[in-house]
Structure 1
Amino acid sequence: MAEPVADQNSALPDSPPDGQGEATEPTNANREAAKYRTKLREAEAKLEATEKRVNALLRAQVESLAAKELSVASDIFDIGGASIDDLTDPEGNVMSDAVDAAVKALLAKRPGLRNGSAPWGDVGGGRRGSIPDAPPTMLEALKFTRR
């Protein structure tokens, strides 16, 4: 009869029964890597939320500058096609001269977008002429009735 074949694992040294040793080393490294991947995802999510918030604040600042001449301030983006990158400097600050130029270019193409609260000037209502400094005296009032 043939002799039984020895198990391949019997030639390896016994690993400690408590689960410590080389077998758990990759598991600890995987856990640590997973922990760092989770932290990375959280940091990326916070960064994305912060970028959205900053862009919203920059957009609001641009719209407040554009509202001086546009009836709907968001038209600078929607109709004019401007972007935040076009209207900010490399540090991310809004350039008011770039906003003014974009508004003027938009109004040159579409003058109907101008703010309707512009003063009309003299439209013929109200009192004409100069207003006297002092009220007329009784003598001056009688002079006008004799004519």
Structure 2
Amino acid sequence: MSEMESSTTPEATPAEGDTPSEGNPANREAAKYRRQLRETEAKLSAAEERVNRLLRKAIEDQVSSKLAVPADLFDVGKVELSDLLDADGYPDSETIDAAADALLKQRPHLSARPMPWPSVHGGTEDEDDEEAPTRTWTEALRYNDPRYSGQRR
């Protein structure tokens, strides 16, 4: 490496918006404050992102008993995080429950609870009916066997 290349390091390059301030101490101080401002804004943005992730996780935990995939509240339901917070910025339970119920009303298949099966009875729903014969698999398989044709019911 030559001496010219080693003297121009990235640290020596002024940041965007900064002017070289070799002679004026006021410019150096202003550049220092601009750098601090950008760093602080980046830290604030990262902190806001973490808080939003934590709030979203808390809301997803609350609707996990209602939705099979709690993230569906945001992804499928298109609900914004800010819509589910109260005036102080905390999750509002009533609003969250109402949003989950509204989503389930539109798309019941997203429910965490299994949907009941339709009736599989052959038209009779009387489980108390003692006269109804109880069939076994052996009887069902023998039904069409000519050797047991006399045992049909």
User: Which of the five TM-score ranges fits, normalised by the shorter chain?
Assistant: 0.5 to 0.7
Runs of 4+ aligned residues of structure 1 deviating over 2 Å after TM superposition are: 116-120
1:3-82 paired onto structure 2 within 5 Å: 27-82=24-79
Looking at structure 1, the residues matched to 49 and 95 of structure 2 have their Cα atoms a distance apart, in angstroms, of 22
Looking at structure 2, the residues matched to 28 and 118 of structure 1 have their Cα atoms a distance apart, in angstroms, of 73
Q: Which protein is bigger by CA-based radius of gyration?
A: 1
Looking at structure 2, the residues matched to 100 and 92 of structure 1 have their Cα atoms a distance apart, in angstroms, of 17
Report the CA distance between 1:90 and its aligned residue. 1.8
The partner residue of 2:94 within 97, 105, 128 is 97
Inter-CA distance 27–111: structure 2 relative to 1 (3 Å threshold): same
Looking at structure 2, the residues matched to 64 and 39 of structure 1 have their Cα atoms a distance apart, in angstroms, of 37
The TM-score with structure 1 as length reference comes to 0.61
Looking at structure 1, the residues matched to 116 and 105 of structure 2 have their Cα atoms a distance apart, in angstroms, of 19
Report the CA distance between 1:89 and its aligned residue. 0.9
Looking at structure 1, the residues matched to 43 and 51 of structure 2 have their Cα atoms a distance apart, in angstroms, of 12
Partner of 1:16: none
Q: What is the root-mean-square deviation in Å for CA atoms of aligned residues?
A: 2.2
Q: How many residues align?
A: 97
1:98-113 paired onto structure 2 within 5 Å: 98-113=95-110
Inter-CA distance 35–99: structure 2 relative to 1 (3 Å threshold): same
Partner of 1:83: 80
Partner of 1:144: none
Looking at structure 2, the residues matched to 69 and 35 of structure 1 have their Cα atoms a distance apart, in angstroms, of 52
Q: Which blocks of at least 5 consecutive residues in structure 1 are unaligned?
A: 1-23, 121-147
Inter-CA distance 56–75: structure 2 relative to 1 (3 Å threshold): same
Report the CA distance between 1:26 and its aligned residue. 6.2
* Amino acid paired to 1:69: K
Per-residue CA distance 1:7-53 (angstroms, 9 max, x = gap) = xxxxxxxxxxxxxxxxx996111100000001100110110000000
Q: Which blocks of at least 5 consecutive residues in structure 2 are unaligned?
A: 1-20, 118-153
* Amino acid paired to 2:112: N
The TM-score with structure 2 as length reference comes to 0.59
Looking at structure 1, the residues matched to 51 and 94 of structure 2 have their Cα atoms a distance apart, in angstroms, of 20
Structure with greater contact order relative to length (CA < 8 Å, sep ≥ 6): 1
Report the CA distance between 1:69 and its aligned residue. 0.4
CA contact (8 A) 2:22 2:28 kept: no
